[in-house]
Structure formats: C-alpha cells, structure tokens
Structure 1
Amino acid sequence: MIRYARRLALGAACLLLVGCSSTTNGETVPGGTRAADPRASGSSEEPTTSGGKADPTARIKGVLSLKYKAGQHVKSPQRVAYDHTPPLGGPHDQLWAPCNGVVYKKAVRTENVVHSLEHGAVWLTYDPKKVKDADLATLVKKVDGQPYSVLSPYPGQPTAVSVQAWGRQVQVDGVDDPRIDQFITATRGNPDLAPEAGARCDEADPEAFSQDNPPPFDPTPPGPDAVPVGGGS
C-alpha cells in the first residue's frame, strides 16, 4: 500500500511539472507527444538543398529527389545505364541537346538531353500512345519558346507525362495535373538544383546534334558496355 501511494504521488508530480516520457512504437517521446514530421501538412520546414536553401520541390506531392555527380561525360554512341525512366541525372553525352523552348516531334537520344538538365533545363516527356492531339497541344504550350525547356516523346515511360530536372522528377497521369506547372516553376534554371544552371542551351554543334534532325532515341536496353550511373569521366 505504501509503495502504491508513492507511485501515485510521483505520477501526480510528473503531470504538474513538464510531463513524463512515454514510449510510442519503440521511441521515447518527451511528454508523451511525438515530434511533428517537418514534411507533414502545415509545417513550415522543408528539406534543404546542397546550398542550404529550402528545396522548392519539397511541397510538390510525389517528387522524386536524388543526388547525382555532375560533369560525367560520354561520347556518342556510348550508352548510359540510367537508373530511372526517363532519367533525371547521371553521366551524359558531352554535347547537350538544344533546350531553349524546343519541341521535338520524335524521341531523341537520352544521353544528350540529360546534359541539358545539368544546364538547368526542364524536360517534359510523354508517352506517345497516351498523349495525343489536344493533350499534346497542352504540353507544347508549356514549352514552346520558353528558355531552358524541352519537350519530347519518351516511348515506354511508366506514366502519361513525366517532368525532369537535374535530380528531380514528378510523374503524372494527365496533362492537366497542376504539379506539372508547379514543378516547372520550382526547377527551371534553378541554380540550387542544377550544377551548371545558366550554361548554354542553344544549338552548339549542328553536325553532332541538329535541332531539326536530332540523333534518335534508342529503345533497346543498354548493353553490358553501358556506362553505369556512377561512372563516366
């Protein structure tokens, strides 16, 4: 009885002061309240970029965020074994694809466009079997004539529309998804995301990559000689 009374007294004292610790899912939380997740709705905190600034894509639902080493170049026709479809970073061709509001009607060589991402471009891709006519026109309006923007079909991608910037990607099922515009605004030319933001995005070598007749997309899986995402020179 005396021990029981002592436990009651200690419990009351604990409540009168700052609250006792409790355990939730194996974690001890002061006062019995779990700390709020900074990614939860309504929080003012966001993940930060390498420059210490808030990541503007953190509040866009479904954004994939990865880190890639910059400046890793390959030379055509060398392939890269990218880790995502479409890719959002990694080794790339030494020559970028023109990306100042360019709309490619046919799928183009992936390795060149990834270099454009390094320069700060946003790459909109679509599955040509799912996006046609009026839907395609909606995407064209988002890119045509806009700096650091490029649009091309990407056969076999997992969703109707995918949007890539260096180290960031969001994939959606329709052209009217508001996340497309949100993502473009957050990433296009952003120096906190793209390693070489502001670098050239015009046509540099028409003989190697002509905007009007670009090297074609290769739909076959990369062979054993493909450069891994962690490779390049």
Structure 2
Amino acid sequence: MANGTTKKKGSSASAVKAAKNRSVVAGKRTPWGTIIGVVVVVALLAGVIVYYLQASAPKRDQAARDEAAAAFAPTASNPDPSKKIPGVVTKQYTGSVHILPTERVAYDQSPPFGGPHDGYWATCTGVVYPTAVRNENMVHSLEHGTVWIAYNPDLVKGDQIPLLEARVKGKPYTMMSPYPGLDKPISLQSWGRQLKLDSADDPRIDQFIAALRTNPNGVYPEIGASCDALGKGMFDPSNPPKFDPSKPGKDAKPMDYKGSTGAQGEQGGMPGTPPAGQ
C-alpha cells in the first residue's frame, strides 16, 4: 500500500512539472506579429526618408549653385556683373513700344531679348511653360526685369529639364519655356542681354540670373513693374498665346517701330499709359 501511494504521488508531481514546462515554453514563443509590424513601420519610414531626400535634392543642389553665384549679384560699384560672364551678348533696345496681340515683330535675335512687344506681358512668377509661348509677350516680361530660360526640346531632355526648372520654379521674375529650332540647347534672356549654352550644368546660368534678374541699376527699362498673371482676355498662363515658328511676313513690325495705335498701355492700363515711374 505504501509503495502504491508513493508511486501515485510521484506521478502526480511529474505531471504538474511537465505542465509547468509546457507553459513556460508556450510563454517564450517568438512574437512574430510584433516583429513583422515593427519591420513594416521601419520600412515605411525608410521609404519616406528616401523619397524626401530624392525629392528635395534638386532644391538643395540649387541652393548650393545659388550660393556659388552670389558673387555676381549687382552692387553700386559693380552695377552689371553680367559683363564678366563669358559669352554674354549685349545690345541696346528702346523700351515701352507696344504692338497689338494680332501683330508680330521682325526680331533681330532668336530668341529675342528686346524691342517692340505686346502690351500684355507673359506671367513671369517662376512659371515653367510646358509649350512654347509667343515671343512678343515674353519680351515684355524681360522689360520688367525677368530672366527667361529657353531650351531646344530636341536637344535638352532627361535630367537636364529638372536642372533648369530648379532655377525657375517658385522664383519671381523668372520663366522657362521650350523654344523649337533654337540653335543651341539653352538660351538665357534678360532685357538687352543673352547667353547661349550647351548644358544645364553650366554655372553661368546661375551667374546670369544673379547678375540680371531685377537688377536695379538701369539694365532694364521698367524697374518695379509687375510679373503677375493678367488673366483671360489678356495673358492667361494656363493658355498662353502660342509661339509662331514661321518667318514673320512683310507686315511684321520692324525693330525701330514706334508702337501701334490702340495697343495696351503699360502695367495693364489703357492704351497710352506711361510706364511706372514716368
């Protein structure tokens, strides 16, 4: 009897111990659900960081280019730093000579960078135009202190486009557009000045912008003039007047033209409105 009782007690104790061991083993199982959740969150965060770094890279790179070109900003002692930029062409043009929206000008340069122009300026508030825009409107914006980046869409492609856009987007008194038939990949225009280049990596792009955009030292006719959108019926940036690649006809206005009767006045005013400051 004693032996039988002892055997039963031993069996019971073994069963309890085995049950405890199973409980401990079960409690130590790997929490795969938690691990997978953490991995997913970390991957998402890494993806966001990588996307931000990639998306902000053009802006960060442009900030470095702007800083490098800061030495070309105009000063009282150096009113036109563009004179020190190799390749810049300079010409003298008379400002404030307007034509009608139905008229053309026989410009002496391509792209033009001065001369008679439409009474309505092209919106130049850091706009990147996806299609080519009528010359006569773009030239008016140059008269207001704008820098216009034109590019040959057959020669400038791929990552060169974002490089140019980074110089323009969100920056007042700048604009950009394709220019079919351009004899160089890239051409920069300000009033009376032009620089043609082969690559969007060229630091002279930033030097030109630093030297001439809203330069207050008399390098363009209408200091303080607006670049804002004029709107439908005048100049609508969402549907701008199209560029005409054909050669101007005999009725085109010459470079020494004195202006059309009834043409829009300065600053969007009535015909004959004098420019700002006059």
- The C-alpha deviation readout for 1:41-92, integer Å capped at 9, x for no partner, is xxxxxxxxxx996421110001000000011000112000000010010000
Write the mapping of 1:62-77 to structure 2, written as runs, cut at 5 A: 62-77=87-102
* 1:186 is aligned to 2:214: no
* 1:223 is aligned to 2:249: yes
Write the mapping of 1:136-175 to structure 2, written as runs, cut at 5 A: 136-175=161-200
Larger deviation, residues 80-89 vs 188-197: 188-197
Write the mapping of 1:7-18 to structure 2, written as runs, cut at 5 A: none
In structure 2, give the amino acid aligned to 1:143: V
Partner residue in 1 for 2:225: 199
CA distance in 2 between partners of 1:195 and 1:99 (Å): 16
CA distance in 2 between partners of 1:100 and 1:232 (Å): 28
In structure 2, give the amino acid aligned to 1:202: D
Q: Alignment partner of 2:167: what SS? A: helix
Higher alpha-carbon Rg: 2
CA distance in 1 between partners of 2:89 and 2:144 (Å): 19
Partner residue in 2 for 1:56: 81
Partner residue in 2 for 1:89: 114
Contact (CA 8 Å) 2:188, 2:195: kept in 1 or not?
Answer: yes
Partner residue in 2 for 1:232: 258
Q: RMSD between aligned alpha carbons?
A: 1.6
Contact (CA 8 Å) 2:80, 2:212: kept in 1 or not?
Answer: no
Q: Alignment partner of 1:61: what SS? A: coil
Q: 1:52 to 1:80 in 2, by over 3 A?
A: farther
Normalised to the residue count of structure 1, the TM-score between the two structures is: 0.76
Q: Percent identity?
A: 50
Q: Alignment partner of 1:125: what SS? A: strand
In structure 2, give the amino acid aligned to 1:166: W
In structure 2, give the amino acid aligned to 1:155: P
CA positional deviation for 1:100:
0.6
| Unmatched runs of 5 consecutive residues or more in structure 1 | 1-50
Normalised to the residue count of structure 2, the TM-score between the two structures is: 0.64
Partner residue in 1 for 2:157: 132
Contact (CA 8 Å) 2:117, 2:136: kept in 1 or not?
Answer: yes
CA distance in 2 between partners of 1:222 and 1:124 (Å): 23
CA positional deviation for 1:197:
2.4
| Unmatched runs of 5 consecutive residues or more in structure 2 | 1-75, 260-278
In structure 2, give the amino acid aligned to 1:216: K
* 1:108 is aligned to 2:138: no
